Amino acid sequence: MSAMPSNDLEGLPVRRRDFLALATRAVLWLTGGAAAVGLGRYLTYQLPAEPATRFTLEAPEAYPPGTRVLVADAGAAIYRDQSGYFARSLTCGHLGCRVHPSDDGGFACPCHGSQFSRDGARVNGPTARDLNGVALSLDDQGHLVIDMASKVDPTWRLMMDATAGGRSQDAAADKG
Ligand code: FES
């Protein structure tokens, strides 16, 4: 007598093959979908907006002689002395950290300890440079505008026409 093969075992290899084919298709679909999403993101990628470099401030009258005002958004300090208005970047010339007001009335860099006077002149290193001067101008509404992308000599001043009540659209720059 010979034993007949069982029908229960005959179908098992076929089911395994079906399962593997189905799993392969699923993996291919998932991989293709992920690739399509990545391609879509690549094709629609937009460069991040450039950081702002121009900041509108108060009217000049808001800054009386002797003023030093920190403008946190711009990373600058605005000054007015007897010669006019000027601004200094608060970025340390050593490795680019933001300086902070110090107890002595100047500025100190938290990264490596550079120190600056009240108007941004270097007092101690490791930086070898003063804080950069940056340009000021007047807009059409008579507000001061600071342009962080425009460096100026530290002696530069924005002067106002005294005959116009300390305010003028024809503000002059003294490079001397
Ligand atoms: Fe200011 Fe180094 S970054 S001292």
pLDDT digits (tens, 9 = 90+) for 106-144: 999 999 999 999 999 999 989 999 999 999 999 999 999
Asked if residue 147 lies in contact with residue 53, where contact means CB atoms within 8 angstroms, the answer is yes
Q: Which of 78, 50, 57, 72 is nearest to 139 (CA)?
A: 57
CA of 100 to the centre of ligand 1 (A): 11
Q: Determine if ligand 1 sits within 6 Å of the CB of residue 36.
A: no
Q: Kindly report whether the global pTM for this prediction surpasses the value 0.85.
A: no
Backbone angles phi, psi at 174, to 5 degrees: -100, 110
Percent share of the chain, pLDDT over 70:
83
Report the alpha-carbon distance of residue 131 to residue 115 in Å, rounded: 10
